[in-house]
Amino acid sequence: MSELEDDNICEEPADTNRTLPGVANFATFRDQVCLAQKQAQTELTELDKHRNIWTGLVQVVVLLVAGSWTDRAGALKPCILVPIAAQSLSLLYTMLCAVYMREIPLEASLLGADLMVAVCGGVPLLIAGIYSYLALATEPKDRTFRFACAAVSMVFFPVVANFFSGFLFKALGFIKLCLVCLVFCAASLLYGLFVLEEPKAQSGEDSATVESEKRPTEGGLRSLFDYRLVYDSVKVILRRRDFNKRNLLWLTLLAFFINFGALSDAGVAANLAISQFHWVTSFGIWRSYDLATTMLGTLLAMGVLSKRFGVSDAMVCVFSICFSMAAKPFMAYAVTHVVPNLYYVATSIDVFEGSKTIATKSLASKLVSENEIAKMLTLLGIVESLQVTIYPSLYSVVFLASQETVIGAVFWLSEGFLLLAFALYIVLYLLSRRSASEEAAAATGTEPTGPATQSSAKQGIDNPAVDITAL
Give the mean model confidence (pLDDT) for residues 402-422. 92
- For the range 192-197, what are the long-range contacts, defined as Cβ-Cβ under 8 Å and sequence gap of 24 or more? 192/77, 192/80, 192/81, 192/84, 193/81, 196/77, 196/80
Supply the DSSP symbol for 460: S
**What does the alpha-carbon distance between residue 453 and residue 387 come to, in Å, rounded to a whole number?**
35
pLDDT at 452: 44
In a domain, 466, yes or no: no
3-state secondary structure of 448: coil
Give the mean model confidence (pLDDT) for residues 229-239. 71
pLDDT at 421: 94
- Of residues 130, 109, 116, 131, the one with CA closest to residue 59: 116
In a domain, 471, yes or no: no
Mean pLDDT of the chain: 78
pLDDT at 342: 94
- Of residues 98, 109, 285, the one with CA closest to residue 173: 98
| pLDDT value at 460 more than 50 | no
Please report, for residues 5, 30, 35, the alpha-carbon distance to residue 24 in angstroms, rounded to integers and kept in the order given: 20, 11, 18
In a domain, 220, yes or no: no
Contact predicate 271/283, CB 8 Å: no
∠ CA 355-349-312 to the nearest 5 degrees?
30
In a domain, 155, yes or no: yes
Strands (E), 69-170: none
3-state secondary structure of 219: coil
Q: Which residues contact 78 (CB under 8 A, 6 or more apart)?
A: 70, 129
Pick 389 or 16 by higher pLDDT: 389
In a domain, 267, yes or no: yes
3-state secondary structure of 415: helix
CATH of residue 349: 1.20.1250.20
Length of the chain measured in residues: 471
Contact predicate 467/144, CB 8 Å: yes
Contact predicate 122/59, CB 8 Å: yes
Please report, for residues 125, 140, 155, 306, 313, the alpha-carbon distance to residue 299 in angstroms, rounded to integers and kept in the order given: 24, 21, 12, 10, 14
> Dihedral of the CA atoms 56, 61, 64, 69 (nearest 10)?
-130
Query: Would the pTM of this model clear 0.85, i.e. be above it?
Result: no
**What does the alpha-carbon distance between residue 248 and residue 189 come to, in Å, rounded to a whole number?**
40
Supply the DSSP symbol for 307: I
**What does the alpha-carbon distance between residue 149 and residue 392 come to, in Å, rounded to a whole number?**
31
> Dihedral of the CA atoms 267, 188, 129, 210 (nearest 10)?
170
DSSP state letters, 165-212: HHHHHHHH-HHHHHHHHHHHHHHHHHHHHHT------SSHHHHHHHHH
pLDDT digits (tens, 9 = 90+) for 266-297: 888 988 888 888 787 788 889 889 888 888 88
In a domain, 7, yes or no: no
Highest mean pLDDT among 34-43, 204-213, 235-244, 314-323: 314-323
Burial of 337 per CB tally in 10 Å (0-12, 13-18, 19+): exposed
In a domain, 237, yes or no: yes
Give the mean model confidence (pLDDT) for residues 48-76. 75
Q: Tell me which residue range forms the domain holding 303.
A: 24-193+227-443
Lowest mean pLDDT among 74-83, 86-95, 343-352: 74-83
Domain count across the chain = 1
Instruction: Count Cα atoms within 13 angstroms, Cβ side, for 153.
Output: 9
In a domain, 62, yes or no: yes
pLDDT at 370: 63
Give the mean model confidence (pLDDT) for residues 313-319. 90
Share of the chain above pLDDT 70, in %: 76
**What does the alpha-carbon distance between residue 328 and residue 331 come to, in Å, rounded to a whole number?**
5
CB-based burial, 378-395: b 16+ in 10 Å, e otherwise: bbbbbbbbbbbbbbbbbb
pLDDT at 300: 83
Contact predicate 312/428, CB 8 Å: no
Pick 436 or 147 by higher pLDDT: 436
Give the mean model confidence (pLDDT) for residues 407-414. 92
Give the mean model confidence (pLDDT) for residues 213-218. 47
**What does the alpha-carbon distance between residue 15 and residue 166 come to, in Å, rounded to a whole number?**
33
Highest mean pLDDT among 63-67, 79-83, 217-221: 79-83
